[in-house]
Amino acid sequence: MRRRTVPIIAILFAAIVPTGSVVAQSAPDSQELNACANDTNLLDLLPPSYRDWLSEDVAYLISREERCVFLQLTNDSDRDLFIQYFWDRRNPDPESRDNAFEQEHYQRIAYSNDHFFSGVPGWQTDRGRIYTIWGPPDQIETGSGAAGGSVLPTEIWRYRYLEGIGENVDLEFVQSPTTGDSHLALASDLQEATPEATSFAPSEQCDCRGYVSPLESAELMMRGGSYAPTKFKDLEAFASLNTTNDGVEFDVSTEYVPVTHFMTLVPMKIKIPQSELPEQSGDPNHRALLELFLRIDDSRGQTVEVLEDSVGNPVGSADPVDSTRPVALQKKFPLRPGRYRLQIVIGDSDSGRLGSYAADLTVPAMALAR
C-alpha cells in the first residue's frame, strides 16, 4: 500500500507540459517517445537507486510514456511520488490499502531470483522474464530436444491463456550446454514482449498502460485520492497510542529477502495460539475470528503499509482443530532499505480483549549480482 498524494498532479507531467498550460496536449508520436525513453543522458543523471528502480524493479512493466516522464523528473521527492502513483494506478482494488499487484510483482521477482539464477539475477533470465510478467505456468513438462547436433534438457511451460498473446500457449526453454541456463527456444511475440503488449494478471481491470494526458492523469488521481475507511477503527486508534497490551497473545517473526537493489521483500509471520481464539459456536460453518490491524511507518512517520484482516480457523473444517497448532497469518511486504516502525493490534470484538506488538525494523540493502 502507498498512500496517494494529490500534489503529484502538479509535477507528474511537468516535464512534458509547459508551466501554466491548461489544455491537454496530444500524445507524442512513437519516434519522440522512443527517443525520450531511451535517452542515456537522462538515465545517467538519475541517482543510482532510482536508476535501479527503472532498470530492475519495473523493467517489464513500465510503459515508454511513464519512463519518459520519470527520466525528466528533477528531484527525489517527485520521483518518490511518481513511484507511489505508478503502483497506485495498477492496484486491482483502488480503494484497498493493500496493493496486491505490487506485492505479487515483487514475489515473482524473488521467486525468479531463487529458482532461475544463472550468473545473473533470475529475473533477468528468459524463464525469469516470463515468470515475472505472466506468473507460474499452468503446467510444466520436462524432456529433451535436439539443438546444434546435441540433445539438451528442455522445459515446456504451458499457459491456458496469456493476455495479448492468445490461448494454449506452449513455451519451450532449452538448457545451454555451457552456462546451464535455459533459453526461450523459438522466436515469437514473447521473445520481445514489452509492457505495452502484455498484461499482469492482478491488474486486468486496470487501465495501466498507454499514453495518459496530463488532464486525464489529474482526473485519475483525484478520483482515487482516498481509500475506503478503516474497518477496525478501535484497533487503529490503539495502535496510535504506541502502547502495549497483553490481552491477546501472539508471536511475530520477520525475514529479509533480496529482490532488487532498490527493494527488499519482508516476509512476516504472525502466530496466534488456538487458546486465544474466541470460543466456537455450535454452527460448523461459523468461524471464531480475531480482528487484526497492522501498520508500517517509515522513518519520517509516514504510513507505507496497512493491513486489516480477520484471523481464525478455516470454515467448516471436518477435522478436529489441533489445540497445539497456532493459527498463522503470513504476508510479504516490499520495503525499501531503511528504518521502519511496525505496529500490530489484534482484538476480540466480543470480549474486548486486545493484544499489541510494536517493534523497529531495519530493512537492509541486500546486494544482488549485477
Please report, in tens digits, the pLDDT of each residue of the chain (370 residues total): 444 333 333 334 433 333 333 334 455 567 777 788 788 888 899 999 999 999 999 999 998 888 988 998 889 988 998 998 899 889 888 777 788 999 999 999 999 999 998 888 999 999 999 999 999 999 999 877 655 556 678 899 999 998 878 899 989 898 877 666 788 886 454 555 544 433 333 333 333 333 344 434 444 444 444 556 778 888 888 887 766 666 889 999 999 999 999 999 999 999 999 888 887 665 656 667 899 999 999 999 999 999 999 888 765 554 556 667 888 999 999 999 999 999 999 998 888 889 999 999 999 987 666 5
Q: How many CA atoms lie within 13 A of 368 on its CB side?
A: 24
pLDDT for residue 205: 33
The rounded distance, in Å, linking the Cα atoms of 227 and 291 is 19
pLDDT for residue 149: 55
- Spell out the SS3 assignment of 157-207: EEEEEECCCEEEEEEEEEECCCCCCEEECCCCHHHHCCHHHCCCHHHCCCC
**Gyration radius from the chain CA atoms:** 23
Instruction: Name 251's Cβ contacts closer than 8 Å, sequence gap at least 6.
Output: 270, 271, 326
Give the chain's end-to-end CA distance (angstroms, integer).
28
pLDDT for residue 217: 47
* CATH of the domain spanning 233-363, picked from 2.60.40.3880, 2.60.320.10, 3.90.1310.10, 3.90.76.10: 2.60.40.3880
pLDDT for residue 278: 83
Domain segments of the chain as ranges: 8-89+209-223, 115-197, 233-363
C-alpha cell at 220: 485519475
pLDDT for residue 204: 35
pTM, to two decimals:
0.79
How many other CB atoms sit within 10 Å of the CB of residue 126? 19
Write the single-letter amino acid at 342: L
